[in-house]
Chains A and B, each alone.
Chain A
Amino acid sequence: MTVDFDISQYLNIFLDEAEEQIQILDETLVLLEQEGENQDLLNKIFRAAHTLKGSSASMGFENMAQLTHAMEGVLDDLRHGELSVTSDIIDHLLQSLDALKELKNNISAGQDNGVDVAPLIANLKNVKNQVAAAAVAETIPSPEVVAGEEPEVITKPAETLSGADLGMDDVEINVAAAAKANGYNVWHAKVTLSHDCLMKGARAYIVFNNIKDLGEVIKTIPPIDEIEEERFEDSFEFVLVTKSGADTLIDTVKSISEIAAVEVQPVNVSLVAQSVSQTAKEDRELKPVAAGAPKGNGAQTQAQPKTSQTVRVDVQRLENLMNLVGELVIDRTRLADVNGGLKAKLGAEELLETLEEVTVHVGRIIGDLQEEIMKARMFPIEQVFNRFPRMVRDLAQKAGKEINFVIEGRETELDRTVIEEIGDPLIHLLRNAIDHGIETPENRVKAGKPSTGTINLRAFHQENQIVITVQDDGKGMDPEVLKAKAIEKGVITADVAARLTDREAVNLIFAPGFSTAATVSDVSGRGVGMDIVRAHIEKINGIVEIDSTPGEGTKFTIKLPLTLAINRSLMVYLGGQVFAFPLANVVEIINVDLNEIQKVQQRDVVLVRGEVLPLFKLSEVLDYPSDNQGSTKLPVVVVGISEKRIGFIVDELMGEQEIVIKSLGEFIGQIPGLAGATIMGDGKVALILDVRGLAGQAGV
C-alpha cells in the first residue's frame, strides 16, 4: 500500500509560479535600487525569493534552490538592516536573477542545469560574510518574520491514538498491527503547512517523497488523491510504518521549508475503537505551543494582502467562448431583421410585440455577454510593462545616461492577442528613447535641463481604443536633420525633401532603411527599427503617431483596438455581394464624379481638397464582377495605409456594422486582399477586405 505522487502535473504550476516570482523580483529589485531601504519592498522581494526557494526545492531543482537560498540570505540581512542597499549588492542580485531566468527556461526545456550558479552563490555569500565579520561582536539572533522558517514540533509519546480514531479500516489496522508485531513503529503525524504556502500539493508531495525513505505510508487524511489535488486546508495527516523513531520522522519533515508545524504521536493499533477517541480528539485540537522561535512578529505574518480569487482557464476555452458569442452577435442581428420583417408584413400584433420585447432583451444580454467575455480575455498591460524598468536601467547604464523611468496605467486592460504583439514595438521605442532621445548628462546640463532625463510610458483607455504613449524629454527630432539624412541614405530625393512639411519629415523615421544614430550602438540604430515598429502595430490594426519638438523631446502615441476578434466595418456592395472594409482603415467616404477622374502616369487619380488621391476600381483589383450600370457618381472608400491614402471605387455603400472575423478555411487558404469572411444578419456571407493586401494587389 504505497502512496505515490505524480510530480509531472506540478511542473506547469511550478513554472507559472516561478515566472510570477521572477517577474516580481525583476520589478522590485530595480525599484529597490531607486528607493533604497524600503521595508515593504524588501519584504516583498524576500517573500518572492523565499517562495521560489521553497517551490524549486519541492520540485527538486537543486541549482535554483541553492541560488535562491543564497539570495534569500542577503535579502534577509538587508531586511534586518544588517546590510545596506548598495548598487554592488543590487548588481549581484540582478545577476542572480538573470541566472534564475535562465534556469527556469532550462527547466521548461527539461533540464535543471546549464547555468553555473556557484560563482553567483559565492558572490552573494561574500556580501553576506562581510557583514557577518563586521557584526560578529553582536550576535543577536534575528527574529523570524516569515512563518515556516523554524517549524514548531510537538511530540506526544505519552499519549496514543487508536487506529480507529484515525478512520483506519480493518485491513489498514491489520497491516499496522502486523508491522508493529515485527518491531516497526507506527506513527501518526499531522503536518501543518505555513499559512502562505502556495503550492500545497507539491509541498505535500515532497513530504511524502522524503518520508518514503523511512518507511511506508499506510493511511492519509484526507485521502491521497485529495491531497494531490490540494483539497485540504493548511494541514494533512498520515500514518507511517517505520523502523525509525519519532525524532527522525520529525527531522525529516522539518527539513522541508514552508512547514509550520509537525505533530507526531504513536498509533496503538491493537486497541479497538472506544471512548478514548473523545479525549484524543481534544488533544489533537489543542493549539500547538510555539516551541521554536519567538513569535514576536506574528501579527506581521498574518497581514498578508488578500488576493482576489482567480481561476486559471485554458486560453483555447476563452477563444471558443468568444467564437460562440460571435455566433450570438450575428443571430442577434438576424433576430432583429426577422422581427422587423414580420412587423412590416403583419402589422401590429400582440404576439409580435412580445417577440420584439424578447428580441430586445436577448439582444441586450448578448451585448453584456460579449462584453464580459471580452473582459475575460483581457489582461492588464502590466504583464508587458513590468519587464521594462530593468531593461531601461541596464540600457541607461550602458549608454551612460541618467534616466528616470515613469510608468503609468499598468492596470489598463488589453486583449490577450494585442498584448502578445505590443511588447516588441514598445521595447524598440524605449530603446530608441534611451539611445537617441535622452542626451548624455553633460549635454543635458549644457542645454539647461536637469541631468536626469525622464521617459514616460503611459497606457489608458480612450473611447473604444487603448492609447499607449512613450514620451521622453530628450533632444527631440530636427526635421531638417532628418531630411538631410533621408537624402543621404537615398530614402528620398532632395526635390521631395524640399516639399515635405515638418510633420512629414519627422515621419521619415518610419521609412525602411532609415536610422538617425550617428554611431551604431548594439541596441538600436541598426536602421531596421522604426519601419518594423510601425508594421508590427499596423498588423494589430493600430496606428502610431509622432510628436517631436527639437530640444524638448519626442512623444510616440500608439492607438490600438480593444480586441481583434470583433471589429466595426464599413459594408459595401460589389457585384451583388457584400464586402467589409475594417473601419480602422477607412479614412472617409467620398463621391467622385466620373469626369473628375484624371490620368497621371496611366493611373486614375482624383483631386480631393487639393491632394492627389490614387483611385482603383475594387472590382478590377479583386478581379470580381461589378454591377455598376454606367452611373457617373461613383462611391469611393478612402483608406489609409501608413501615410498613404488610396481610394477604392465600389458599386454601392451599405453601412456600418459590427462583424466577427472568420477564416475562409484551409481549403481556400489565404487570398491576397482578403482577411476572411463574416456572416451577416440575413445569414449571407460577406468577405472582409485586407486593405494592405489590396494595396499590394493594386501595386501601390
Chain B
Amino acid sequence: MEEQLVVFQLGDETYGIEISAVHEIIRMQSITKVPRTPEFVEGVINLRGRIVPVIDLHKRFNLPLEEETAHSRIIVVEVKGVTVGMIVDSVSEVLRLPQANIDPPPPAITGGIETEYLRGVGKWEERLIILLDLDKVLEQSEYNALEQHAHDLAAAGKE
C-alpha cells in the first residue's frame, strides 16, 4: 500500500496532501479581496467561470509570511464538494509514499502548525513530509462561529 501525494513548500517546511483531492495547480493570479472574511481568506478568483475562494496557508497555520515569487502556486482542492484554492510557496513533486513510511503525528512537531491539522508525518529519502488533514484545514465551523460572534458584537455595539 502506498499513497500518492502532492508535495509542496511552505517556508522551509515540506507538506503533502493526497493527490485525489487536488483538482489542479495554477499560477498566481489576481485575487479579489472579499470584505468581512477571516484573515487567511485571500479572496476569490475566477477559475474558468467559477468563483473559487483562495486561502493563504501561511496565515491559516500562523506561519511567517513569505513573499510571492515566480514559484508561488495556487493548489485547487476539492473536499466534500467544496472547492478551495490554497496558496503555497512552491509545488515540488508528486510522490508515491509507502504507508509504512507514515507515522502518526508527534505531539509537537514544528514551531508553527498545530497538530490538529496533521494526518501524519511521512519519511522519504531522509526528508520529513508533513501530511495535512484537508478536512480540518478547510473546516469552516470554527471560523464561522468566530465570525458570527464578531458580528454579533459589532451589531450590539452599534445599538
Write out the residue numbers on chain B whose beta carbons fall within 8 Å of the beta carbon of A622. 35-36
Does B35 lie within 8 Å of A664, measured CB to CB? no
Does A685 lie within 8 Å of B51, measured CB to CB? yes
Does B84 lie within 8 Å of A672, measured CB to CB? no
Shortest CB-to-CB span from A320 to chain B, Å, is 13
A664-B51, A677-B51, A685-B44 known; A671-B32 Cβ under 8 A: no
Shortest CB-to-CB span from A134 to chain B, Å, is 70
- Which residues 572-614 in A have Cβ within 8 Å of B in the complex? 575, 577
Measured CB to CB, the nearest residue on chain B to A623 is: B35
- B45 contacts partner chain A, Cβ-Cβ < 8 Å: yes
- B41 contacts partner chain A, Cβ-Cβ < 8 Å: yes
Interface size on B, residues (CB 8 A): 26
A665-B82, A665-B83, A679-B46 known; A623-B36 Cβ under 8 A: yes
Shortest CB-to-CB span from B15 to chain A, Å, is 20
Write out the residue numbers on chain B whose beta carbons fall within 8 Å of the beta carbon of A123. none
A624-B33, A671-B35, A672-B36 known; A685-B45 Cβ under 8 A: yes
Does A667 lie within 8 Å of B46, measured CB to CB? no
- B151 contacts partner chain A, Cβ-Cβ < 8 Å: yes
- A167 contacts partner chain B, Cβ-Cβ < 8 Å: no
Does A662 lie within 8 Å of B51, measured CB to CB? yes
Write out the residue numbers on chain B whose beta carbons fall within 8 Å of the beta carbon of A663. 51
Does B37 lie within 8 Å of A671, measured CB to CB? yes
Does A667 lie within 8 Å of B84, measured CB to CB? yes
Does A674 lie within 8 Å of B82, measured CB to CB? no
Candidate in B35, B82, B83 with the most chain A CB atoms within 10 angstroms: B35
Measured CB to CB, the nearest residue on chain B to A680 is: B46
Shortest CB-to-CB span from B59 to chain A, Å, is 15
A672-B151, A684-B46, A685-B46 known; A667-B36 Cβ under 8 A: no
A673-B36, A679-B46, A684-B30 known; A667-B51 Cβ under 8 A: no
Shortest CB-to-CB span from B55 to chain A, Å, is 8
Among the listed A672, A674, A699, which residue makes an inter-chain contact with B34, where contact means beta carbons less than 8 Å apart? Answer: A674
Among the listed B44, B84, B144, which residue makes an inter-chain contact with A669, where contact means beta carbons less than 8 Å apart? Answer: B144
Binary interface encoding of chain A residues 262-298 relative to chain B, with 1 for a CB under 8 A from any of its CBs, else 0: 0000000000000000000000000000000000000
Write out the residue numbers on chain A whose beta carbons fall within 8 Å of the beta carbon of B140. 666-667, 669
- B138 contacts partner chain A, Cβ-Cβ < 8 Å: yes
Write out the residue numbers on chain B whose beta carbons fall within 8 Å of the beta carbon of A664. 34, 44, 51, 53
Measured CB to CB, the nearest residue on chain B to A662 is: B51
A330-B49, A671-B37, A685-B44 known; A666-B82 Cβ under 8 A: yes
Binary interface encoding of chain A residues 654-672 relative to chain B, with 1 for a CB under 8 A from any of its CBs, else 0: 0000000011111111011
Write out the residue numbers on chain A whose beta carbons fall within 8 Å of the beta carbon of B41. 668
- B52 contacts partner chain A, Cβ-Cβ < 8 Å: yes
Write out the residue numbers on chain A whose beta carbons fall within 8 Å of the beta carbon of B151. 672
Binary interface encoding of chain A residues 392-436 relative to chain B, with 1 for a CB under 8 A from any of its CBs, else 0: 000000000000000000000000000000000000000000000
A667-B82, A669-B140, A685-B44 known; A327-B35 Cβ under 8 A: no
Write out the residue numbers on chain B whose beta carbons fall within 8 Å of the beta carbon of A623. 35-36
Measured CB to CB, the nearest residue on chain A to B48 is: A327
Does B51 lie within 8 Å of A686, measured CB to CB? no
Measured CB to CB, the nearest residue on chain B to A663 is: B51
- B127 contacts partner chain A, Cβ-Cβ < 8 Å: no
Does B35 lie within 8 Å of A624, measured CB to CB? yes
Among the listed A330, A671, A685, which residue makes an inter-chain contact with B36, where contact means beta carbons less than 8 Å apart? Answer: A671
Does A665 lie within 8 Å of B51, measured CB to CB? yes
Does A671 lie within 8 Å of B34, measured CB to CB? yes
Does A686 lie within 8 Å of B32, measured CB to CB? yes
- A157 contacts partner chain B, Cβ-Cβ < 8 Å: no
- A508 contacts partner chain B, Cβ-Cβ < 8 Å: no
Query: In whole angstroms, what is the CA distance A685 to B43 when docked?
Result: 10
Query: In whole angstroms, what is the CA distance A668 to B138 when docked?
Result: 11
Shortest CB-to-CB span from B7 to chain A, Å, is 24
Measured CB to CB, the nearest residue on chain B to A625 is: B33
Write out the residue numbers on chain B whose beta carbons fall within 8 Å of the beta carbon of A173. none
- A30 contacts partner chain B, Cβ-Cβ < 8 Å: no
Measured CB to CB, the nearest residue on chain B to A699 is: B158
- A687 contacts partner chain B, Cβ-Cβ < 8 Å: yes
- Which residues 279-331 in A have Cβ within 8 Å of B in the complex? 327, 330
Binary interface encoding of chain B residues 48-83 relative to chain A, with 1 for a CB under 8 A from any of its CBs, else 0: 011111000000000000000000000000000111
Write out the residue numbers on chain A whose beta carbons fall within 8 Å of the beta carbon of B45. 685
Write out the residue numbers on chain A whose beta carbons fall within 8 Å of the beta carbon of B43. 685
Binary interface encoding of chain A residues 564-575 relative to chain B, with 1 for a CB under 8 A from any of its CBs, else 0: 000000000001
Candidate in B37, B81, B83, B138 with the most chain A CB atoms within 10 angstroms: B37
Among the listed A624, A665, A668, A683, which residue makes an inter-chain contact with B46, where contact means beta carbons less than 8 Å apart? Answer: A683
Query: In whole angstroms, what is the CA distance A572 to B144 when docked?
Result: 29
Binary interface encoding of chain A residues 606-645 relative to chain B, with 1 for a CB under 8 A from any of its CBs, else 0: 0000000000000000111000000000000000000000
Shortest CB-to-CB span from A351 to chain B, Å, is 26
Write out the residue numbers on chain B whose beta carbons fall within 8 Å of the beta carbon of A672. 36, 151
A684-B46, A685-B46, A699-B158 known; A667-B35 Cβ under 8 A: no
Measured CB to CB, the nearest residue on chain B to A660 is: B49
Shortest CB-to-CB span from A332 to chain B, Å, is 13
Interface residues of A (CB under 8 A from B): 327, 330, 575, 577, 622-624, 662-669, 671-674, 677, 679, 683-687, 699
6 A/B residue pairs, CB under 8 Å, sorted by A: A330-B49, A665-B53, A665-B83, A668-B41, A669-B144, A686-B32
Interface residues of B (CB under 8 A from A): 30, 32-37, 41, 43-46, 49-53, 81-84, 138, 140, 144, 151, 158
Q: Which 9 A-B pairs have the closest CB atoms?
A: A685-B32, A622-B35, A327-B49, A624-B35, A667-B53, A679-B46, A677-B51, A662-B51, A699-B158
